[in-house]
Structure 1
Amino acid sequence: MQPTTTLATLGSLRLCFYGAGSMAEAIVRGLIGQELTKPSQISMLNRQNADRLQELSSRYGVETSSDEAAKLAMIQSADVLFLAPKPKDAAAALEQLRPLLSPNQLIVSVIAGLSIHTIEQLLGQPMAVVRTMPNTSSTIGLGATGISYSSSVSVEQRLLAEAMFQAVGLTAVVEEPLLDVVTGVSGSGPAYVYYLMEAMIKAGQDLGLTADAARELTVQTVLGAAQMVKETGEQPADLRRKVTSPNGTTQAAIETLDAHAFATGVQRAVARAAERAGELGADIERSALK
């Protein structure tokens, strides 16, 4: 199956999102925004938040319902079922899905930490399972998604999964154990950058800039720095050294960051996020499989 064929196939498939949180919305918005499918091909459901479903239906034109019979029909008619419940609800959600699924459905999980093996155990049968770790930048087509596959996923299904997530950003196919690392680097990564931006904006304001000026300068600086790395192909460390003149302002700033163990803090944050992803998966496994 060629990429163009894959995209054409995608437009004809029924997609159902079991879970309607921010990540599910990001993927839906990306797929619709890139015109890879029509809103009428997408259904979204959750456990009980009817207001949230109405909001999504109004915003994107997707199919939603609070009626239990309609929910069952959405699940059973789906060609691709996205598993996007909150981690604490994942085990119960998958057990509810167990009698509703058919072997020809493609299962796409965005549940942090939950292994393919456990998903198959909870569903009661080997399935074509795509385990992913996207991030919320998928909303604007600049997401970063790690992807792993169960042994039942066909070549065509792999291409389909990658086409869906490439529509909302970059994809990286990795061995499943490394998905927790992807969670630490890019899954939670936007929050680290936002946190940095918060601090830069506050510093600018504290030193006399207006709130608007501090924000605009910070946003453009982060955007420009990321684009420089992407377009030049140079390592961030090399670009940093190029703008760090001896005894200059940047050196003074970097030395201050080093004094506060900035790099070590970021590295430990990534490692802790990866560790926490594994803990969440283990918690789900213990509660579901005991």
Structure 2
Amino acid sequence: MTHQPSELELDRRAFRSRRERRSVLVAIASTLAFAVIVWATLASTPGWAIVQAAFFDPEVALRSLPRVWDGFLLNLQVLGMSVVTVGVCALFLATLRTLPGAVFFPLRVLAAAYTDVFRGLPFIIVLYLFGFGIPTLTGERVPPIVLGTLCITLTYSAYVSEVIRAGIEAVHPSQRLAARALGLSYAQTLRRVVLPQAFRKITPPLMNDFVAMQKDVGLISILGAVDAVRAAQIMNAQTYNFTPYVVAGILFILLAIPSVRLTDWYTARLRQREQMGSIV
């Protein structure tokens, strides 16, 4: 026999549906009104025509798009490699910082010193120090894509490792004790019990770090890589127009939007799961 909702439940569902439709209509109306007000304000500004010609020229945008896109593909390559290297190094650092016992004290100190240094150094200084220091030290030319990936890994491993460590420490100690009581080793407990629970807690902040990393990938142009930012700079020198920078910025925004929306969706899903039964 199939379950039939009660009249009260049907009324509640109808009320939620009406409220959601009303909220959507109000949001659309307020957004359109805000857009009209902003556009009217900008259009009435005395210097808007000059700004539009210097930053939003459609002809320059179409001419610069292929070159900026080719550079943007380089940014995507560095980002793809950095996601893997940052994840591996951050997990290793977080594991070192959570090792129990006095014998592992030197490893915990080294991991803490690493995170303190690279969380304190601005990313642009890391690019200068390692991006130009390593080729000088080795006496050989290193591809900018390798140097960029290295610098991003050094910096963001420190941030991500602290997020992972916080997730590991947020798991209740009883989970560890129960796993050890069942005969699991420390490594098995960490892999099978602690980390799965930790990653569910830290997914939203990890996604925020990923979005920040997407933006900082654009700074590898300092190392001589012809990425989207450097390509926009070249087109700016040729056209004496800032529209190529706007094109590059739009590409980075389009890259970040799916990650931001995914983070919001996952956060809302976790909140709904935790508050199940409290929402009427």
TM-score by length of 2: 0.24
Q: Is the strand fraction higher in 1 or 2? A: 1
Find the structure with the greater CA-based Rg. 2
With a CA cutoff of 8 Å and minimum separation of 6, indicate the structure with the bigger relative contact order.
Answer: 2
TM-score by length of 1: 0.23
Q: Is the helix fraction higher in 1 or 2? A: 2
